Structure 1
Amino acid sequence: MTKRPKTDPLHLEIVRAREAQRVWVDAWSAPLGTSFDDVARRAGLEPLGDQWETLGRAAAVDLLALLLHRDLAYSGIAAPATQARELAEGFVGSFGPEECRYATNRPLRGGRFAPSWNPATSFTFDAGVIVVGRERAGVLWVADED
């Protein structure tokens, strides 16, 4: 996988908008057959194998919008809701109109993060979305501490 330049304006805007212990925002060109675990490894996250929760595009945007809007530890506001939604839509939209696959370690239940999840980092809390398209793959992930 070839890494995209770190100077991508959308990626920088996301990192600036979401204060956290760590934020991963990246995309690469990816060969056909790239798995969620391949992307996780490339990003420095733990591969989760069959524990990935797959999502549709709209659910991926909803999850990322909440992740950018609220912190994972105390549900405090991390970024304004409208800005968080725009950034989430921009990230998912950056993979183009083609059919993509989406996965997370912590899905939403009733508009909130599920109380349990499969950690992909050593941080106290983490969540995000991995995107795999025909030609590109990427990750938007956030880790917070208690």
Structure 2
Amino acid sequence: MGIDEDIKRLRDCGVVRCGVLPLSAPTAAAIAKAFELRDNDACYREIDESTARSIAAEVLHRDQAYSVEIMTPDRAERLTAKFFEQFGAQARYFTNNWCPVTDATFDVGVIVIGAMQSGCLWVEDED
């Protein structure tokens, strides 16, 4: 089982969109579309790696609606680190810019564009 499947299995509530595509993409919206997220570039803003890791770990750690713990912070950080290892040192990171990209009440995550592959770790929660 790969890290993407581990994340989906262990983040056992809400909708988890997690995976890797074997390509680099010109925009975050192009990757978003592949994961059935809104494909409007205005919805995404570039962030640094540290912020991206923090967002990813937090959405794995807690439910967005009620802040209920889903997994320990340590496990969330380990899963985040393994997911990010797939993209290399020159990767670019994006998150939504106060713009919902699904029909869920809460949605947040990270889109990663690497030199050789790109990916998405996005979570939707409802209240």
Taking structure 1 as the reference length, the TM-score comes to 0.81
Choose from 72, 78, 93 the match for 1:102.
Answer: 93
Q: Deviations for 1:92-123, whole angstroms, at most 9, x for unmatched residues?
A: 11112x301100016xxxxxxxxxx2111011
Question: Which amino acid in structure 1 is aligned with residue 125 of structure 2?
Answer: D
Which position in structure 1 is the counterpart of 2:121? 140
Give the superposed CA RMSD: 1.4
Aligned mates of 2:11, 2:55 — CA distance in 1: 14
Specify which structure has the higher proportion of helix: 2
Percent identity of paired positions between Structure 1 and Structure 2: 33
Count of residue correspondences: 127
Which position in structure 2 is the counterpart of 1:93? 85
Question: Which amino acid in structure 1 is aligned with residue 94 of structure 2?
Answer: A
Cα deviation for residue 12 of structure 1 reads 1.2
Assess if the C-alpha contact under 8 Å between 2:87 and 2:115 holds in 1: no
Structure 1 residue ranges, 4+ long, deviating more than 3 angstroms after superposition = none
Taking structure 2 as the reference length, the TM-score comes to 0.93
Q: Deviations for 1:47-80, whole angstroms, at most 9, x for unmatched residues?
A: 2312312111111111101110011101110111
Q: Which runs of 5+ in 1 are unaligned?
A: 1-7, 107-116
Q: Which runs of 5+ in 2 are unaligned?
A: none
| Superposition map of 1:69-80 within 5 A | 69-80=61-72
